[in-house]
Structure 1
Amino acid sequence: MGGPNADAAGDSFLSERSAKVFVAGHRGLVGSAIVRKLRDLGFANLVLRTHAELDLTRQSDVEDFFASEKPRFVILAAAKVGGIHANNTYPADFIAINLQIQTNVIDSAHRHGVKKLLFLGSSCIYPKFAPQPIMEDALLTAPLEPTNEWYAIAKIAGIKMCQAYRIQYSWDAISGMPTNLYGPNDNFHPENSHVLPALMRRFHEAKVRGAKEVVVWGTGSPLREFLHVDDLADAVVFLMEKYSGLGHVNVGSGKEVTIKELAELVKEVVGFEGQLVWDSSKPDGTPRKLMDSSKLANLGWTPKISLKEGLRDTYKWYLENVKQ
């Protein structure tokens, strides 16, 4: 659907390394990895704005930005994100802020002549009980997970908006849906972080204190998929270069680990010598959550960073940037 073939000679993303690329959300886990990747590849004209410099929820400000900067490419990695607690506490923020950001950026990008836009979502867009591994066509087939449906609805709207602009205007807007991500610039906050950075912080602090054990919630049996954020950044460049289609694309590692295996790996990487104790009175969450990324694999992209190598890299970053 829409637009010339992205592979046409001299017409690809990678052939335009002097073009202006707007990375929205460049200070987050995802955006910062995309910026690192683009700089490594020689993209010299990145357009970056902090939240203080450009509030993406303000339509007139976004409009003025696109009118003056006129970027050629847009990668939309800006979003209000958070865990279950935040989603339950601030549902209005999660739906309104994300809808505002997406609508403002996608619409202004189209009207100001952006050649190609990539919208990034999340695996939480899928139904709570979607068949595993989750294929792209599971979208909108059943009810969502109630704890994060406000965020999920906004992200689904973003996918549909990209599709609508492609259908109506033949505009090259695409969507990628990453699995659970980790890596440098992750959130290691004691209460608000996801499972992997939370474990890393707890094992590190236990090691420093010389604690004899670390208690982890649940049984350790749920299966989860993780992708290093530098692999995601590599996939983003691949999609910008190679993909121009109506459907969204899952971006995952295709590999599952139990939370127990994950905890043992983190413990080993951190060098915590004590015991791991499982508190099975605490909830496990969804038993399995794996995305089917065969669509992306068939296009020719697969991840390169193993979980152990990625954890080592993340712990190194943690030691240099987070620990007190």
Structure 2
Amino acid sequence: MFYLGVTGKYFLAFIIFLIIQNIYINQSVLSSDIYRFLFYFVLYAFITNSKEELKDLNFPMILFIFLSTFSIISYLLEINLGVDDYQTWNIGFNPSELDYLKGRTNGFQAGGPNSFADLITITAIYSLFKYKNSYALFIIPLSLIGVIVTYSRFSLIVLISFIFLKLIKEKLYIQLLGSLLILLISANTLGVYERFLNDDNNGISDRLLMLQASTEYYSESSIESKLFGNGSNQLIFQSENVYLYDEFDNNPYSYGPHNSFIFYLINYGLFGVLLFILIFTSLFKRGFNFNANFITVIVFLVLSMATDLLHNHSVAWLLYFAYFSYIKTEN
């Protein structure tokens, strides 16, 4: 018998809301966002109704090894596979003279080095909590160095935090000391201290301006927009400026408020965000635990507070895979 469950019902309600919103705003039934969430709903139906066990699926670990290795090798050998589809970043090493670009590694996903670092962080933490403690001996150094050469501050902070959580939980104090040494040596060798402390490129300031502009935009919106949103692909945030999507001359995919929750609030409104949150209520049915899929979802939500991760669907699919897999094991 087909299993829909509470999560599936909330998911359908959210998709119906998006369709109604899109009809009202764009006079169209479907949009790219709706197609994506329909795909996630099909993924949910497949995973939760499949008779196959997913516990032995190793592709996140394989993906982690590939991404981290590619990041490190492309940095050391300055491998550049050309510009990505968004004409913003090189795939591999970025030799630009611009401070915020120079020397950073990027992968095959959308979103640049920060999203690349997010993807390495997510797959690394999943693998760390999924497999035996002995696997930490190669997961930790590979992930730390792989993320460090992207020069993504927040991803590195999140990665370190969850590595320490795992090692302290398992009382692996020797590995904890080893991780600290690897971190310190790598950070010193690769110039991380200078890079992270130097804000000449105004990277942090620019993000704060985007966050301020987006929160002000929402607070000054009409009651209708606050409740039901502006729809997807309507607005662009660049520093303290807000532009209409169709009137923006540069690549629109490179700009966002760097906070997924604020972006969803602007796009879908308070009502849409509440429906979206309801999709994840099954996550906390058992409370906080150390299941690899549960931890992966938590990592996603933490990273989304300082990134556009939730609406970067070249990475976000892994959130839904982990969450639906968690529901499958819980049921």
Q: Per residue, is there more strand in 1 or in 2?
A: 1
Both proteins in one fold, TM over 0.5: no
Q: Per residue, is there more helix in 1 or in 2?
A: 2
TM category, shorter = under 0.3
Structure 2-normalised TM-score?
0.25
